[in-house]
Every structure is written in structure tokens, then in C-alpha cells.
């Protein structure tokens, strides 16, 4: 079978399964199966597909039709211009979180040590380290499964000497002294428990709930992040945090513990007020 014929039949298959952009998804799978870049695909449409490649492609396509995340199928997700290993047990990096990295690079000190709380795949910490060679970091998570992916990505980019991965969230157990960090970045679970059932099937049925469920109002881990920042930040240090939006930002702003203060709220790349910067005031 020619690649162009297979691609056309696959497109009809995903359309029937309710997909809005089937060709985009098919092309990503084709690139993975055949080991080529997307720009090369138009040149291969008249190429014969082996039975082995055809069978492997169709297995992946059937899994995608059941809404298994595309990133899990190909084992990678792009974030901030870098490619990260991802898979079951690990939250897939979101484009909206790239705005958080941009703000850190704009506002944080240009040298120093930071913590990435709820690091997941390690995409935030590693992106910052690769963008600024003067940073070192601690990446923490309570999920051993997520830390496995963070370790693979740390090894992928040879960042062992600059990123220490730590299985904990409790500041008292972290391998750093109190009031020693220049800044903290965090993308904790913030979806209210009752809203998990409303998520897209791709997310609800496949991505780890421990990385999504923020408790009754979505604020459980966010308040934990604030408490950690009070303990770990130097005076004048900054906390950069992703949240579930305006309602959560308002609640955090009203309950922020001293000596932290809400310094800035900013939008993600989709125009949603999602991120906050807190500053630890000086005495």
C-alpha cells in the first residue's frame, strides 16, 4: 500500500471516530513510525509501506481512536522549543505553561538556585536550565512514576550536574537550607476534584489524577506551594506559580501568608489569567 493511500484511509477512520484534525494527528504518527520530519512526508506519498510498518501504524491509530494521548503514543512532547520524553504516569506538558517559563526568564535573578515543585516530566526546570546556564535547580515530585520521566529527560539533556531530582514535597525534607532559594516555580495540581469528570477523555482516562486533582476547590497544593515558598525563599525571592484561573488567583491573593505578597498576575498564551508571581518581602 502506498503511504498516500494509507494516510487517506486513516483520515477517514479518525473522522468517523470524531476527530476534528485527523490529518495533523496522522502525520505525527507517520513521522514517528517512519522516522522522518513532517516536511518530508509530502515527498513520500508514493512510497510503498511495508506490512510491518502498516501494522504498527494501524495499532497506534486504533489506540488514538480510543483517545489515548498522542504524546504517549509517540513517547515525546514538545515544550518551549525542546522535546521531552513523556508517558503513562506523567502529565503531558501544556503550551499555556510556556508563558510561565517566559515570565521566569524575564523576572527572576539571572543567576542562582531554584526549586521546581511538582516537576513532573521536568520540562519547566530543564527548559530554564537550558535557557540560562547560570541556574541550578531541585526538581521535586511526590510521584515516583513522574520522577522516572524527569530522570530520563535530565539524562537526555545531560543536566545531571545542575538538576537534582527529589521525591518529596515537604520543604523540611528537601535538600536545601531554609531561606536559601532565589526563586521557586510551580505547576501543581489545581483542578477541583468534582471537575475531573468533565475533562476530555484523553486527559481524564489516561493522565495521572495525582497531577491534576487539587482537592475540593483546587487549592490544596497551591496553598502548599505558598507555605513552601515562605520556608525556602530568600528575602526578596520570587515564586512563579500556575493556577486554574481568576477565581483561584483571587483566593490565593486573599490568603497569601506573610511575608509573601502577590506581586503580579499575568495571562498565558491563550489570554487566560492563569499565572501569578509572589514576592517574599524583606524585613
Residue-wise pLDDT for 239-278, tens only, equals 999 999 989 998 998 888 999 999 999 988 888 899 999 9
Task: Name the grid cell of 14.
Answer: 479518525
CA-atom Rg of the chain in angstroms = 21
Q: Which whole number is the average pLDDT over 103-116?
A: 96
Residue 45 phi, psi dihedral angles, 5° rounding? -60, -25
CA 185 – CA 183 distance, rounded (Å)? 7
- The alpha carbon of 11 is separated from its chain's Cα centroid by a whole number of angstroms, namely 28
Dihedral sign (CA 231, 160, 222, 79):
positive
pLDDT of 1 reads 86
CB 68 within 8 A of CB 33: no
Name the percent of the chain lying above pLDDT 70.
Answer: 100
CA atoms within 13 A on the CB side of 238: 18
pLDDT of 56 reads 96
Q: What is the pTM of this model?
A: 0.94
pLDDT of 33 reads 94
Q: Which helix (H) or strand (E) is 165 found in, with range?
A: strand 163-167
Which one, of 163, 159, 108, 167, lies nearest residue 140 by Cα? 167
CA 114 – CA 232 distance, rounded (Å)? 10
CB 139 within 8 A of CB 116: yes
pLDDT of 255 reads 87
Question: Given the C-alpha cell 483542578, which residue does it identify?
Answer: 191
Render pLDDT for 166-225 as a digit per residue (tens, 0 to 9): 998 887 788 888 899 999 999 999 999 999 999 999 999 999 999 999 999 999 999 999
Q: pLDDT-based confidence at 18, cuts 50/70/90?
A: very high
Task: Name the grid cell of 218.
Answer: 483546587
Q: Mean pLDDT of all residues in the chain?
A: 94
For the cut 70, the answer to whether the pLDDT of residue 283 exceeds it is: no
Amino acid at each position: 500500500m502506498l503511504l498516500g493511500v494509507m494516510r487517506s484511509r486513516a483520515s477517514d477512520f479518525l473522522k468517523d471516530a470524531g476527530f476534528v484534525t485527523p490529518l495533523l494527528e496522522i502525520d505525527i504518527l507517520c513521522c514517528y513510525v517512519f522516522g522522518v520530519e513532517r516536511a518530508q512526508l509530502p515527498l513520500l506519498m508514493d512510497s510503498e509501506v511495508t506490512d510491518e510498518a502498516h501494522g504498527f501504524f494501524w495499532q497506534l491509530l486504533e489506540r488514538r481512536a480510543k483517545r489515548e494521548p498522542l504524546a504517549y503514543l509517540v513517547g515525546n512532547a514538545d515544550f518551549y522549543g525542546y522535546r521531552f520524553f513523556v508517558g503513562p504516569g506523567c502529565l503531558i506538558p501544556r503550551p499555556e505553561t510556556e508563558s510561565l517559563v517566559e515570565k521566569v526568564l524575564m523576572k527572576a535573578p539571572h543567576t542562582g538556585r531554584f526549586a521546581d515543585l511538582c516537576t513532573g516530566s521536568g520540562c519547566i526546570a530543564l527548559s530554564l536550565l537550558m535557557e540560562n546556564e547560570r541556574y541550578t535547580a531541585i526538581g521535586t515530585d511526590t510521584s515516583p512514576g513522574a520522577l522516572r520521566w524527569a530522570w530520563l529527560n535530565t539524562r537526555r539533556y545531560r543536566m545531571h550536574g545542575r538538576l537534582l531530582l527529589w521525591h518529596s514535597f515537604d520543604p523540611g525534607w528537601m535538600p536545601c537550607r531554609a531561606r536559601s532559594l532565589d526563586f521557586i516555580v510551580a505547576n501543581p495540581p489545581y483542578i477541583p476534584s468534582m471537575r475531573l469528570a468533565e475533562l476530555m477523555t484523553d486527559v481524564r482516562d489516561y493522565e495521572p489524577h495525582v497531577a491534576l486533582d487539587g482537592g475540593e476547590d483546587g487549592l490544596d497544593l497551591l496553598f502548599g506551594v505558598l507555605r513552601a515558598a515562605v520556608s525556602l525563599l530568600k528575602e526578596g525571592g520570587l515564586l512563579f506559580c500556575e493556577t486554574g484561573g481568576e477565581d483561584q488567583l483571587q483566593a490565593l491573593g486573599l490568603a497569601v501568608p506573610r511575608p509573601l505578597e502577590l506581586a503580579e498576575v499575568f495571562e498565558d498564551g491563550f489570554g487566560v489569567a492563569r499565572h501569578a508571581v509572589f514576592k517574599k518581602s524583606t524585613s
